[in-house]
Amino acid sequence: MGSTISRVWTKLFGKIEARLIMIGLDGVGKTTLLHQFRLGEAVTTTPTIGFNVEAVEFKNIKLNVWDLSGHEKIRSVWRTMCPNTQGVVFVVDSTDIARMDAAREELHHMLWEDHLRDAIVLVFANKQDFPGALDAAAISAKMDLDRLRQVWHLQVGSAVTGAGVNQGLDWLVNLILILIPPVAQHPADTDAWYTRGVCLQELLALPTAILDFGRVVALQPTHWRAWYQVNY
């Protein structure tokens, strides 16, 4: 369904852009994961000082990804990057049991920022290709993910091998499209959706919550969450 939504959204509103922040403790593989997002392959990296910003094209969506340093002295700056953020990618080292509590505290503290109340959250459990990596159930429990107020998903994988990367990104993009729809620059244009090459079959394939007698309507995030909880 994600590709259908992306196609219709593009016809109605033009190129879709979303802003993501990628956070996590230092040394967990954030920058390597960013290169997998952008290039589809692992690249030798050095510890990030400050932040990296990369544009990633995925499913006709432009993702502006801010890769923020996980150094302890820089984590306080994360909160200044929250405004206008649609998605959060939190990377955790599946083998670093000693720092799992610290990772949990940083994640929960960050997600209580008002600017991130409606953000979509992907927790990427990295380094699953290493011996001793915790499984998804153990990581979910240690990270206390069920307490998050946001819509979230835990994806296990490896930023080096690419395992799980596309699956996680696919989920994130689909949820951004479903739960945080773009707003038309000219709302009246949504009444004439047929002039933009959107066929009836495509509209019928969209969630019924976003259709109103042939019009595309922008609902509040809470309404979209209610639809998501019932249908997914």
Q: How far apart are CA 131 and CA 187, in angstroms?
A: 53
| Torsional sign, CA 150, 151, 156, 161 | negative
C-alpha span between 21 and 38 (Å, rounded)? 14
In angstroms, how far apart are the furthest CA atoms of the chain? 57
Q: Which residues are annotated as a binding site?
A: 24-31, 48, 70, 126-129
Asked if 190 and 14 count as a contact pair (C-beta separation under 8 A), the reply is no
Binding residues for GTP are 24-31, 70, 126-129
CA-to-CA distance for 93 and 134, rounded, in angstroms?
9
Which residue numbers belong to the known binding site for Mg(2+)?
Answer: 31, 48
